[in-house]
C-alpha cells in the first residue's frame, strides 16, 4: 500500500502547497499566483487567498486579497480559477508589498467582499 503524502490528500492541502499555485480566470488566462492564505484563527475558515498580480521582476506588483469563496480548484489546470477578467482585477482592492494592511478591519473586509459580490467569510 502506497503511503499518502501528508501535506496533500484528495480533499485537503497544506497551506505551503497552496502558495505559488497559479490563478486563472474563466478564459484560461493566467492572472497571478497565490502568495499566501489567510485563515481566521477563531473559526478556522479560510478567509482570503492573497494573489500577486501585475508588475515585472517585482516592480509594480500588487497583492489582491481574493475572498476564498471566489476560487475554485481546477484539476486539469492544477490551479485555481476565478470568474473574473484581468480588467476586473485591475480595479479591485489591492495593496503593495510594502503596505501594511489590517485584515482584521471589518470595514476593509466588507469593501473587498462587496467588490467581488460575495458574502464575507465571517457571515
Instruction: Give 12's pLDDT tier (boundaries 50, 70, 90).
Output: confident
Distance in Å from the first CA to the final CA of the chain: 42
C-alpha cell at 80: 485555481
Tens digits of residue pLDDT in 89-120: 889 999 988 888 888 899 999 999 999 999 99
75-86 average pLDDT score: 92
Rank 14-18, 59-63, 75-79 by mean pLDDT and report only the highest. 75-79
pTM of the predicted structure, to 2 decimals: 0.84
**Residue ranges of the domains in the chain?**
15-115
CA distance to 2, 4, 123, per residue, from 36 (Å): 30, 24, 22
Sign of CA dihedral 33, 104, 11, 83: negative
Return the CATH fold of 15-115.
SH3 type barrels. (2.30.30)
Amino acid at each position: 500500500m502506497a503511503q499518502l503524502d501528508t501535506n496533500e490528500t484528495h480533499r485537503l492541502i497544506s497551506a505551503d502547497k497552496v502558495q505559488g499555485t497559479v490563478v486563472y480566470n474563466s478564459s484560461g488566462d493566467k492572472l497571478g499566483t497565490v502568495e499566501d492564505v489567510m485563515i481566521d484563527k477563531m473559526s478556522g475558515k479560510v478567509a482570503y487567498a492573497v494573489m500577486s498580480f501585475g508588475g515585472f521582476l517585482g516592480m509594480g506588483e500588487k497583492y489582491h486579497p481574493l475572498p476564498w469563496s471566489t476560487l475554485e480548484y481546477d484539476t486539469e489546470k492544477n490551479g485555481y480559477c476565478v470568474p473574473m477578467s484581468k480588467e476586473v482585477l485591475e480595479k479591485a482592492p489591492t495593496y503593495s508589498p510594502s503596505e501594511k494592511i489590517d485584515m482584521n478591519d471589518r470595514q476593509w473586509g466588507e469593501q473587498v467582499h462587496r467588490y467581488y459580490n460575495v458574502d464575507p467569510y465571517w457571515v
